[in-house]
């Protein structure tokens, strides 16, 4: 069977999804239209000379300006890459040298932690509080240091704040891949990494922001002094991401109400459920729960059979059913974990259906 025919038939024979509560959502409809149009008009290399490259260069410039405006940046601060994992290394690694001390959070994404482990200098871990937020109470920043700072966690949704007292020479690499456009960058920052999927844009595109070129050096082999990064990415994906970001409307109040509906419903039906974090200090669309005495993977599969798509385990590993290091850092068990995300199209009836299906699946496991 050809790849095209396999793709066309891939939707046959699957259970219709009643509600998508996984972290990924369908591409924004306007972004999808932009992507299809860009495949026709944005295929040329914008760095070359000619009519088609010239048109592609204009499209790229407009896309970068739109993204910069929405994220509170200037276009010359932006670099684009086709791999989110690489954005962690470029944003954080570009601030490091062997003489730098490196501070990072216990709940950081695996891509950040991988960069941390590759650092030759001193490393210090910042613990999490029970609510999932960074606990700076026992952290003493040293001179000549770099802080890997996660704006918000992609599992618990916990939003972090920078401490009031920091050394003036502290360099800060912001991980905004989970928060996207929901939370603005703090006043003090040096680099930042964004994931296009955070605003319902396409996968395979990351934005790197560099506040001051004086504090950042490309940690990869250099091609030329004129290029800060390789800059290898799909122009159609960049254009689709810009359109998705321009049209991203998170509807915070309605989303928070649906999240509270889910949390209160589960608490009522399963009294021993553990909910990670406090919704008051978290992004409104994420919930991670632990249900004692059940297997998270089995819950995911049973809910899928009933038409509900949810997540379990770590939100930042290739094998997303691996135990969550975030829950462990919060002092919570990792077995029986289910994670949900509320999307703009999610309805109250879908949330009610998910609660009913989840309670049924839990009861079925516990009765074995």
Percent of the chain with pLDDT strictly greater than 70: 91
What letter would DSSP give residue 282?
B
Rounded (to 5) percent helix, strand, coil in the chain: 35, 15, 50
Cα 353 from Cα 261, distance rounded (Å): 11
At 3 the pLDDT is: 43
Mean local confidence (pLDDT), 303-325: 76
The label of the residue with tokens 């297997």 reads 295
Phi, psi of 363 (to 5 degrees): -60, -40
Confidence band, pLDDT 50/70/90 cuts, at residue 313: confident
Quick count: other Cβ atoms within 10 Å of Cβ 254? 14
Confidence band, pLDDT 50/70/90 cuts, at residue 8: very low
Lowest mean pLDDT among 16-20, 74-78, 153-157, 172-176: 16-20
Locate 9 and state its tokens: 């038939």
Confidence band, pLDDT 50/70/90 cuts, at residue 190: very high
pLDDT for 317 beyond 80: no
pLDDT for 285 beyond 50: yes
| 29-246: in CATH 3.40.640.10 | yes
Give the model confidence (pLDDT) of 64-116 as tens digits. Answer: 999 999 999 999 999 999 999 999 999 999 999 999 999 999 999 999 999 99
Start-end ranges of CATH 3.90.1150.10 in the chain?
16-26+250-366
Locate 224 and state its tokens: 């030329």
Q: What mean pLDDT is reported for the chain? A: 90
Start-end ranges of CATH 3.40.640.10 in the chain?
29-246
Find residue 20's DSSP bridge partners: 309
pLDDT for 27 beyond 80: yes
Percent of the chain with pLDDT strictly greater than 90: 76
CA 127 to chain CA mean position, Å? 20
Cα 209 from Cα 292, distance rounded (Å): 41
Residue 98, exposed/middle/buried by CB under 10 A (0-12, 13-18, 19+)?
Answer: exposed
At 44 the pLDDT is: 83
Cα 147 from Cα 173, distance rounded (Å): 6
Strands in 32-182 per DSSP E = 78-81, 101-105, 123-126, 145-150, 171-175
Cα 296 from Cα 317, distance rounded (Å): 16
Closest CA to 276 of 105, 132, 98: 132
pLDDT for 184 beyond 90: yes
Cα 353 from Cα 360, distance rounded (Å): 11
What letter would DSSP give residue 258?
H
Local structure of 133: helix, strand or coil: coil
Give the total residue count for the chain. 368
What letter would DSSP give residue 347?
-
The label of the residue with tokens 């200090």 reads 281
Confidence band, pLDDT 50/70/90 cuts, at residue 229: confident
Mean local confidence (pLDDT), 224-229: 66
- Residue 191 parent element (H or E): strand 191-195
User: 16-26+250-366 is classed in which CATH architecture?
Assistant: Alpha-Beta Complex (3.90)
pLDDT for 290 beyond 70: yes
User: 173 or 319, which is more confident?
Assistant: 173
Mean local confidence (pLDDT), 346-357: 97
User: 231 or 183, which is more confident?
Assistant: 183
At 52 the pLDDT is: 86
H-helix segments, the chain: 3-8, 29-41, 51-71, 84-93, 110-117, 235-246, 252-269, 296-305, 325-329, 348-366
At 7 the pLDDT is: 40
Give the model confidence (pLDDT) of 237-261 as tens digits. Answer: 999 999 999 999 989 999 999 999 9
Cα dihedral 195, 201, 207, 211 sign: negative
């Amino acid at each position: 069977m050809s790849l095209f025919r396999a793709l066309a038939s891939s939707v046959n024979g699957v259970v219709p999804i009643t509600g998508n509560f996984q972290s990924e959502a369908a591409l924004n409809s306007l972004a999808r239209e932009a992507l299809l149009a860009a495949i026709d008009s944005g295929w040329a290399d914008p760095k070359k000379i000619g009519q088609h490259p010239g048109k592609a260069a204009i499209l790229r410039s407009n896309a970068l300006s739109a993204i910069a405006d929405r994220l509170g940046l200037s276009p010359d601060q932006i670099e684009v890459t086709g791999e989110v994992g690489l954005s962690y290394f470029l944003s954080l690694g570009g601030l490091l040298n062997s003489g730098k001390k490196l501070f990072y959070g216990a709940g950081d994404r695996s891509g950040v932690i991988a960069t941390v482990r590759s650092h030759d200098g001193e490393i210090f871990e910042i613990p999490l509080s029970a609510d999932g937020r960074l606990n700076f109470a026992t952290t003493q920043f040293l001179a000549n240091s770099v802080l890997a700072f996660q704006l918000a966690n992609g599992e618990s949704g916990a939003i972090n704040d920078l401490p009031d007292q920091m050394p003036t020479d502290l360099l800060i690499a912001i991980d905004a891949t989970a928060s996207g456009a929901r939370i603005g960058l703090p006043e003090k920052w040096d680099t930042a990494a964004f994931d296009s999927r955070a605003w319902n844009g396409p996968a395979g595109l990351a934005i790197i922001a560099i506040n001051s070129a004086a504090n950042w050096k490309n940690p990869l082999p250099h091609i030329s002094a004129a290029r800060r990064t390789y800059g290898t990415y799909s122009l159609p994906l960049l254009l689709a991401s810009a359109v998705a970001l321009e049209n991203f409307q998170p509807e915070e109040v309605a989303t928070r109400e649906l999240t509270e509906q889910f949390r209160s419903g589960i608490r009522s039906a399963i009294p021993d459920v553990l909910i990670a974090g406090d919704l008051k200090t978290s992004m409104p669309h994420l919930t991670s729960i632990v249900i004692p005495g059940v297997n998270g993977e089995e819950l995911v599969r049973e809910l899928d059979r009933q038409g509900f798509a949810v997540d379990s385990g770590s939100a930042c590993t290739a094998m997303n059913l691996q135990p969550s290091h975030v829950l462990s850092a919060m002092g919570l068990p990792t077995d029986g974990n289910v994670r949900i995300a509320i999307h703009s199209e999610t309805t109250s009836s879908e949330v009610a259906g998910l609660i009913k299906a989840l309670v049924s699946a839990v009861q079925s496991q516990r009765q074995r």
